[in-house]
């Protein structure tokens, strides 16, 4: 077995009476890109904060890049890069000034060289003299990523890094993440985007502060137990509306001219479709989105 960058067990955290993270066990191998998925409020951000030492766990123990998450947070902070959900660098500083601040904080011995390296790697060169506040969303995220990797961390904790960023910028951002993983950096990244989830080596799905499912994207769809039928028909919106009322149909989603009807019980589903779509249907592989909608709808409790 490869070495683990993250290895925690029984991690719990409550705010007031609500248990946000509930005896969570998580292992992430070194150099892996691990996708963190789950509904809003499922505990993704809190878990990331617990791992980065921003929050103290109520219970549980473990290590992050070889350091104890309770007693060695100082060492952890030196060797991780944490990117918050909201852009949290200084908008009234330029790109260069922000990076220079970070270089000072991590005591980087040759800040100019380090900044030149990340600026080159991330294509930020044309913007170094711009105020961070004037950058577009995609470039802000890139600045944040640059700041995260300036000190060559072993582990990146990224909390919805691409929320609100356009498709091209997101694609490029993920290409960069894969480049970093290739260099041996471990990445734990939370996201709501299915295309991003599909690019992870492994997906961990959270609900109510617990891990419900985990595995690589392909095996997740295969092992979900979901059956999806594709129907092509003219009056598709009305059909979708009608289908949702039928027994055995968990979800009916329109994709252009196609309707995907998903459920777990093959016989009931087929019986329902029989009179709905006399022209016929055929079975397709459920998508990741189908799987997650199924998980969300069942409250993560299950298959």
Which residues are at the interface with another protein (CB under 8 A)?
49, 52-56, 74, 77-78, 80, 82, 84, 86-93, 97, 100-107
Q: Which is nearer to another protein, 106 or 173 (CB)?
A: 106
Least CB distance to another protein at residue 102 (A) = 7
Least CB distance to another protein at residue 300 (A) = 25
Least CB distance to another protein at residue 8 (A) = 17
Q: Which is nearer to another protein, 101 or 176 (CB)?
A: 101
Q: Dihedral (C-alpha) 96, 98, 104, 106: value to the nearest 10 degrees?
A: -110
Least CB distance to another protein at residue 66 (A) = 17
Q: Which is nearer to another protein, 19 or 171 (CB)?
A: 19
Strand 258-263 relative to strand 251-255: parallel, antiparallel, unpaired?
Answer: antiparallel
Least CB distance to another protein at residue 169 (A) = 21
What's the per-residue H, E or C state across the chain? CCCEEEEEEEEEEEECCEEEEEEEEEEEECCCEEEEEECCCCCHHHHHHHHHCCCCCCEEEEEECCEECCCCHHHHHHHEEEECCCCCCCCCCEHHHHHHHHHHHCCCCCHHHHHHHHHHHCCCHHHCCCEHHHCCHHHHHHHHHHHHHCCCCCEEEEECCCCCCCHHHHHHHHHHHHHHHHCCCEEEEECCCHHHHHCCCEEEEEECCEEEEEECHHHHHHCCCCEEEEEECCCHHHHHHHHCCCCCCCEEEEECCEEEEEECCHHHHHHHHHHHCCCCCEEECCCHHHHHHHHHHCCCCCC
Q: Which is nearer to another protein, 34 or 48 (CB)?
A: 48
Q: Which is nearer to another protein, 51 or 203 (CB)?
A: 51
Least CB distance to another protein at residue 203 (A) = 24
Least CB distance to another protein at residue 58 (A) = 10
Which residue, among 26, 75, 21, 24, has the nearest Cα to 52 in the 3D structure?
75
Q: Which is nearer to another protein, 119 or 288 (CB)?
A: 119
Least CB distance to another protein at residue 74 (A) = 7
Distance from C-alpha of 259 to C-alpha of 253, rounded to nearest angstrom? 6
Q: Which is nearer to another protein, 155 or 165 (CB)?
A: 155
Q: Which is nearer to another protein, 143 or 231 (CB)?
A: 143
């Amino acid at each position: 077995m490869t070495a683990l960058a993250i290895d925690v067990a029984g991690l719990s955290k409550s705010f007031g009476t609500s248990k946000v993270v509930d005896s969570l066990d998580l292992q992430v191998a070194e150099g892996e890109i691990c996708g963190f998925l789950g509904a809003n409020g499922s505990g993704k951000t809190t878990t990331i904060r617990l791992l980065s030492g921003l929050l103290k766990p109520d219970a549980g123990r473990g290590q992050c890049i070889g350091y104890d998450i309770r007693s060695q947070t100082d060492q952890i902070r030196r060797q991780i890069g944490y990117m918050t959900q909201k852009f949290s660098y200084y908008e009234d500083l330029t790109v260069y000034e922000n990076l220079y601040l970070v270089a000072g904080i991590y005591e980087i011995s040759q800040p100019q060289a380090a900044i030149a390296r990340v600026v080159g790697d991330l294509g930020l060169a044309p913007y170094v003299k711009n105020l961070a506040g004037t950058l577009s969303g995609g470039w802000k995220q890139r600045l944040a990523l640059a700041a995260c990797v300036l000190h060559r961390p072993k582990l990146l904790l990224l909390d919805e890094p691409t929320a609100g960023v356009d498709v091209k910028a997101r694609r490029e951002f993920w290409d960069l993440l894969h480049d970093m993983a290739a260099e041996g950096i471990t990445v734990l990244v939370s996201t709501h985007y299915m295309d991003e989830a599909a690019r992870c080596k492994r997906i961990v799905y959270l609900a109510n502060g617990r891990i419900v499912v985990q595995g690589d994207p392909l095996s997740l769809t295969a092992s979900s137990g979901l059956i999806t039928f594709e129907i092509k028909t003219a009056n598709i919106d009305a059909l979708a509306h009608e289908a949702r009322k039928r027994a055995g149909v968990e979800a009916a989603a329109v994709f252009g001219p196609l309707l995907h009807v998903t459920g777990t019980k093959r016989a009931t589903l087929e019986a329902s479709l029989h009179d709905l779509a006399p022209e016929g249907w055929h079975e397709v592989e459920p998508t990741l989105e189908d799987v997650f909608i199924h998980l969300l709808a069942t409250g993560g409790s299950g298959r």
